[in-house]
Structure 1
Amino acid sequence: MDVTEGTVRKICTDAVFERGERYLAEDRILDIHRVDTTVAAVVSGSRQYDVRVDLEADGFDPWCDCPYDGPEACKHVVAVLLRCADDCPPDEGDRLDAALEAADADDLQNFLRETLATDAAVRDRFFARFGESTTRSVDDLRAAIDRKFEETNPDYFVVFEPIDFSGLFDLASEYRDQGRYASAATVYRALVESLDDNMERVDGAYDHFSQAFTRALDEYVDCVAAGDIDTDEAADAVAFLEDRATSGSQLLSEHFERAATELEESLTERRDQ
């Protein structure tokens, strides 16, 4: 997708576009770099915000960790896209490929192992890509997600700003791409449970959390339906959704009821085939 003023205007309101222009003019983009079609940047606002866009995706697939919950893209995304339209950062993809090709195999393996030893998120993605099912339970993953809520606003119960769940969604997608549906379902269920438990404390960026919940719930149903599970496991999955419909947040009860019905129908259809 070409990055022009016109294409940027299509993904934001007029007011947000003007604020994005002002942010660009005020040199609020502190850091920006590009690998292939992905541009990552840091934009200064009331604090520093991380921004990612895909220059070839329809609508640029924007992501920002700011609290904006209005329609379409935020001013930080707009500022980054307008910068790309005016002066796109050089693509470091070829440089990265060249460095990888030139690297000694043992040195590269040592570097990778050091990185994996210190970065749990990357380590999980590595195991998911190269043939390992998850060893983390739903409770373990949910506790880690709950900590994100606690750390976002430690002095108050209320959460005002969005939380970045992209690493967990990427991990679940990796498992799913490898055909390990049970592992993917474990990650999605942890997201569903934590978001359900914490939704009452959300008082800002509600659309962000609602969209994350809906995505995790839909993906959980799809993975359970696609996985190789026995009758008891299928019954437990449906029971989990039905229980949450009555015991979880009232804001989300209808979503759980719908998901339970869809999962039961999918499992019944599979058994009848």
Structure 2
Amino acid sequence: MSVTEEGVRNICTDAVFERGEGYLAEGRIREIHRVGATVSAVVSGSRQYDVRVDLAADEFDPWCDCPYDGPGACKHVVAVLLRCLDDAPPDEGDRLDVELDAADPDDLRAFLRDTLATDATLRERFFARFGESSTRSVEELRTAIDRRFEETNPEYYVVFEPIDFAEWFDLADEYREQGRNGSAAVVYRALVESLDDNMERVDGAYDHFSQAFARALDGYVECAADREDHGATDAVAFLEERAESGTSYLADQFERAASELRERLARGSGG
């Protein structure tokens, strides 16, 4: 979980590295916290930007809600990583563990239930970990993702800045960790549909949205290929249909995904 200058330089351009150094020197990091390997921060630029990095992940798995659309990480991420290099924030995970160990079980259960009752995102993560199946359909998830596009820039149709899709990718990851690939496929399909239908309104942060689409599409193929019911063949049909009717410049990716899924199904059936 060590951060080195070389490691930071490897994920950004030289110009961005210098800007990140400047942001750190100017004291633009307004807030920073760490729980385990996850660091979250607020960095001041033309507005306040939320930053998240994973110190234990390859290339730190950085995320920032700024509109940067160049190669590699942005200056806000670089500033946070350099802060961790020079002066890492204390790990609040130890305090969490102490408080959790000391908490009364009934009080903890009541607190958790009250929190789950008012936080739909966390509630769905809870059901993914402890429930038996997905509680939300593609349509329901799709509606929530579409709403994020609408809320990002409510006065205009065009979306200029990145959207954080982490809650849905985290949900899919949770299902996959539980071996419930069918439920994960539902989440990935909702992301694929929403990104496909909303991509034409994107006018900035193209790399961010393209990477999110590719990640969702790859996840969908992987989960569909592991299904033993009709879900896999239905997934091929969905991908083929989207290649014809979806955003034109994503057609090649849909065709590639459909071809890959057909090949994986053929190998699985011994064909």
Q: TM-score with structure 1 length normalisation?
A: 0.96
The answer for the alignment partner of 1:227 in structure 2 is 227
Does residue 147 (structure 1) correspond to residue 147 (structure 2)? The answer is yes
- The residue type equivalent to 2:265 in the other structure is L
CA offsets, 1:102-123, max 9 Å, x none? 0000000011011111111111
Residue number in structure 2 paired with 1:179: 179
Q: Distance in 2 between matches of 1:180 and 1:55?
A: 28
Query: How far is the alpha carbon of 1:200 from its aligned partner?
Result: 0.8
Write the distance in 2 (CA, Å) between the matches of 1:136 and 1:70: 35
Structure 2 CA distance, aligned partners of 1:7 and 1:186? 36
Corresponding position of 2:4: 4
RMSD of Structure 2 on Structure 1 (CA): 1.3
Task: Tell whether the 8 Å contact from 2:124 to 2:135 is kept in structure 1 after alignment.
Answer: no
Q: Cα offset for 1:217?
A: 0.6
Structure-to-structure mapping, 1:41-56, within 5 angstroms: 41-56=41-56
Of residues 247, 264, 267, the one that matches 1:266 is 264
| Cα distance between partner residues in 1 of 2:264 and 2:6 | 43
- How far the C-alpha of 1:166 sits from its partner, in A, is 0.7
* Aligned residues with identical type, % of pairs: 75
Provide the C-alpha distance between the structure 1 equivalents of 2:45 and 2:132, rounded to a whole number of angstroms.
Answer: 41
Q: Secondary structure at the match of 1:268?
A: helix
SS, match of residue 132 in structure 2: coil
Indicate the residue corresponding to 1:255 in structure 2: 253
Deviations 1:77-101 (A, max 9, x none): 1111111112111111111111100
Contact 2:41 2:51 in 1 (8 A): yes
Give the whole-Å Cα distance in 2 for the aligned partners of 1:267 and 1:165.
29
1:146-176 Cα distance to aligned partner (Å, 9 max, x none): 1111111111111110100011001011111
C-alpha distance in structure 1 between counterparts of 2:164 and 2:204, whole Å: 14
Inter-partner Cα distance in structure 1 for 2:6 and 2:268 = 47
The two structures have a TM-score, normalised by structure 2, of: 0.96
User: Residue in 1 aligned with 2:136?
Assistant: 136
For 2:32, the equivalent position in structure 1 comes to 32
Matches within 5 A, 1:66-105: 66-105=66-105
Please say if residues 127 and 135 of structure 2, whose CA atoms lie closer than 8 Å, have aligned partners that are also in contact: no
Partner of 1:119: 119
Deviations 1:2-36 (Å, cap 9, x if unpaired)?
A: 32333322221111111111111221111101111
- Corresponding letter in the other structure for 1:213: F
Match of 1:241 among 230, 239, 242: 239
Secondary structure of the residue that 2:33 maps to in structure 1?
Answer: strand
Which aligned segments of 4 or more residues in structure 1 are displaced greater than 3 angstroms?
A: none
Which blocks of at least 5 consecutive residues in structure 1 are unaligned? none
Aligned amino acid, residue 235 of structure 1: T
* Number of residue pairs aligned between Structure 1 and Structure 2: 271
User: SS where residue 269 of structure 2 aligns?
Assistant: helix
Which one-letter code corresponds to 1:268 in the other structure? A
Aligned with 1:90: secondary structure?
coil
Task: Give the aligned residue type for 2:24.
Answer: L
In the aligned structure 2, how far is the partner of 1:56 from the partner of 1:139? 35
Gaps of 5+ in 2: none
Kept in 1, the 8 Å contact 2:199–2:247? The answer is yes
**Distance in 1, Cα, partners of 2:104 & 2:16:** 48
* Paired letter, 1:183: S
CA contact (8 A) 2:172 2:185 kept: yes
Output the CA distance in 1 between the equivalents of 2:115 and 2:69.
35
Q: CA deviation at 1:236?
A: 2.1
User: Which letter maps to 1:147?
Assistant: R
